[in-house]
Amino acid sequence: MTYKNFTVQTDADGVALVTWDMTDRSMNVFTEEVMGEIDAMIDELARDAAVKGVIITSGKKGSFTGGADLKMLRGMFDGYEKKLEADRGGAVEELFARAGEMGRIWRKLETSGKPFVAAINGTCMGGGFELALACHARVASASAKMGLPEVKVGIFPGAGGTQRVPRMTDTQSALQMLLQGQTLSADKAKRMKLIDEVVADDGDLVGKAKDMLKAGLSAVKPWDEKGFKLPSGPVYSPAGAQVWPAVASLYRKETADNYPGARAIVKCVYEGLLVPMDTALKIEQRYFAQVLQTTEAAMMIRSLFVSMQALNKGARRPKDVPEQAIRKVGVLGAGFMGAGIAYVSAKAGLEVVLIDRDQEAADKGKAHSRTLMEGLVKKGRASAEETETVLSRITATPSYDALSDVDLVVEAVFEDRDVKADVTKKAAAVMKDGAIFASNTSTIPISTLAGAFPDTARFIGIHFFSPVDRMMLTEIILGEKTGDTALAVALDFVRAIKKTPIVVNDTRGFFANRCVLRYMSEAYDMLVEGVPAPMIENAAKFAGMPVGPLALNDETAVDLSQRIMKATIRDEGEDAVDPRHFKLVNAMVDGDGRLGRKAGKGFYDYPAKPAKKSLWPGLKEMFPQKKAEDVDFTELKQRFLVTMALEAARTMEEGVVTDPREADVGSILGFGYAPYTGGTISYIDGMGVKAFVALCEKLEAKHGERFAPTPLLREMASRGETFYTRFAPAEAA
């Protein structure tokens, strides 16, 4: 037996060791060739009388299949983005055929009559974990990570995952794992009974697997034996009656029923547990086919898998600038943002010079890294040594001389043009030739700040989101004169710190904040109309937003909204701000110091823990309240999604964002735009531009001009275009 991607060695005891090691790839992934080989190999192993049992492992250090979550899906989705536009049915059919094939082969392995053990030596996600679950036992290295993350891109594990997991672990844990796409540590997987043995990283994993075979591992799965009992008991039983009603409400609470993939998981588990395995697998397949055909799955796969990977790999990076090794960065301003930027940089292995006005302020910024690292240590996700290593990379100082050998400076001082100009000049005076200067400003145009730096080509914006350690998006802002090298360095830096970049052209609010302001502004409108505040917050959450607009406004601070309105009135005149909105924030801020969470009161009241925040009752007195039955709840949801999508469309029309993938990925990562839509632009493309324009017109008639479709949208609607065809990304993923 010889295979291209596998070696098979059978020892004297009749144990066949199958080692998966794709010579032409750094990771093992499922390709058609791999599937074909596994299929043939199972037949051969089953036929070979000398083989008593089989161990499947990987030849790649620290990885069974796929290096990171979802990597194994890549083969399936090669060219998916193009196919989706050209031939949606074809793209779906191909995905379905591959998943169906995988499910068939794993079942064949499971019923081959020979016992199989998966020796999981490292990361094992998606289809790879489904393969392991089909084996008759599993041993894993202590540091191996595993899981079925498919739901995160809009689908679900369709090769037996939804059936084997709830036959091995209790229904509640199984559903939680599947619905959240959890990544499990080896220990957690063992506690859930998904793994049989955990072996130390330097231990003998294969030896352990052999021991299990030698001890007489059964080649028949428990669920293929008569009298098999489900871990949580039958669905129709007193135990089942405890579990399932709770599942329904948990599912609604977590998903607002917006995700067909998640809905299908619940149905697969429920229906599948009523029948024998082979029928259950057919049920899973049927739902898989349905889910793949949904707009949600198509849009989520594209944005959250294909486009996100393309952007992370540098889709927008100028090709002819060689890779820039970034070793050391300077951060100016050790406040809220600067401290976070220093932390993520040091955590990624970069040397950091953290500067503030005096030593005390700089030290305070550095202390933020200690707090975050200690938090990780407490959770067992970092060691004390790692904490010291990360901290040792950060030099906190008021002295600009320390910037002489940095490759990049990120400025995060006060949002004040003069203060920024001052620190820019001081840094420029000592920075080495060719080093890049980036500002983290959130409101000041980059092109105007660039004037303080001697070489405007080396000046760029890198806009982080707070909290920096948790928010995965960065907006790279191109000033009028920003050069390719600055863009390349900024992208290389963002890649080094493992964030996802979008590249936008210079404009007030850039991309994300423009859209977010619309979200909060729409909530003000609803308040003014007398929509009860809880309905506003709930409508947003039911629409798929992670945080209601009023809660979000409390986080970003109500006085910041007031400042932005004042600045807009100053720059653009009284008419640029809705006077009712201005009155509302003035009343909140000036009247009662309701500045938001930081003040303990805003749209919500924030009592001392453990009490929970609650909406401020005073809102009811500010505006005559509508009765709940007089409010069109569906329309509230639409208003939120449409107003942000329209703003995103405007940014594309204005050339602020040039690639629809960036608007989509940026909107999900930057402000949590209802992920099931695939992002602001996919929301429009998903329903069709024509339908979107009609929806805008309906809302415009009722709520005013802010919903008027733009000229570009009308033109695209009349031509039957989508954003992804009209603004086709320069290169496929």
The residues that touch ligand NAD, with contacts defined as CB under 6 A, are: 332-338, 355-357, 361, 412-415, 419, 422-423, 440-442, 463-464, 466
Distances (CA, A) of 212 to 54, 118, 137, 633: 11, 11, 8, 58
Q: Are 327 and 351 in contact (CB under 8 A)?
A: yes
Element at 615 (helix H, strand E): strand 614-615
Q: Could you give the residue numbers annotated as active site?
A: 463
Q: Tokens 């994300």: give the residue.
A: 512
| Closer residue to ligand NAD (CB): 281 or 450 | 450
Total number of residues shown for the chain: 733
The count of other CB atoms within 10 Å of the CB of residue 7 is 13
| Six token digits for residue 232 | 């949580």
| Closer residue to ligand NAD (CB): 335 or 688 | 335
Element at 397 (helix H, strand E): strand 394-397
| Closer residue to ligand NAD (CB): 412 or 717 | 412
Instruction: State the nearest-atom distance from the C-beta of 161 to ligand NAD, in Å.
Output: 39
CA–CA gap between residue 680 and residue 668 (Å, rounded): 8
Instruction: State the nearest-atom distance from the C-beta of 362 to ligand NAD, in Å.
Output: 8
Instruction: State the nearest-atom distance from the C-beta of 540 to ligand NAD, in Å.
Output: 20
| Closer residue to ligand NAD (CB): 415 or 529 | 415
Paired sense of beta strands 459-464 and 473-478, if any? antiparallel
Q: Are 300 and 676 in contact (CB under 8 A)?
A: yes
Instruction: State the nearest-atom distance from the C-beta of 71 to ligand NAD, in Å.
Output: 31
Paired sense of beta strands 6-10 and 15-20, if any? antiparallel
CA–CA gap between residue 204 and residue 694 (Å, rounded): 64
Instruction: State the nearest-atom distance from the C-beta of 527 to ligand NAD, in Å.
Output: 23
| Closer residue to ligand NAD (CB): 257 or 360 | 360
Instruction: State the nearest-atom distance from the C-beta of 376 to ligand NAD, in Å.
Output: 22
The count of other CB atoms within 10 Å of the CB of residue 496 is 19
| Closer residue to ligand NAD (CB): 460 or 619 | 460
Sorted by sequence, the CB contacts under 8 Å of residue 363 that are 6+ apart come out as 396
| Six token digits for residue 150 | 């498919």
Instruction: State the nearest-atom distance from the C-beta of 356 to ligand NAD, in Å.
Output: 4
Longest dimension (CA), the chain: 87
| Closer residue to ligand NAD (CB): 234 or 467 | 467
- Amino acid, single-letter form, for residue 491: L
3-class SS at 341?
helix
Cα angle value 413/414/418 (rounded, 5°): 95
Quote the distance between the C-alpha of residue 491 and its chain's center: 19
| Closer residue to ligand NAD (CB): 177 or 410 | 410
Sorted by sequence, the CB contacts under 8 Å of residue 311 that are 6+ apart come out as 500, 501, 502, 661, 662, 665
Instruction: State the nearest-atom distance from the C-beta of 150 to ligand NAD, in Å.
Output: 33
Instruction: State the nearest-atom distance from the C-beta of 151 to ligand NAD, in Å.
Output: 30
CA–CA gap between residue 259 and residue 151 (Å, rounded): 9
b/e per residue, 425-439, with b = 16+ CB within 10 A? eebbebbeeebbbbb
| Closer residue to ligand NAD (CB): 264 or 452 | 452
Instruction: State the nearest-atom distance from the C-beta of 364 to ligand NAD, in Å.
Output: 8
Helices (H) and strands (E) in the chain, counts: 33, 20
Q: Are 134 and 112 in contact (CB under 8 A)?
A: no
For residue 684, the number of C-alpha atoms closer than 13 Å in the C-beta half-sphere is 35
Residue nearest to ligand NAD (CB): 335
3-class SS at 389?
helix
Q: Are 706 and 517 in contact (CB under 8 A)?
A: no
| Six token digits for residue 393 | 């990379």
| Closer residue to ligand NAD (CB): 78 or 415 | 415
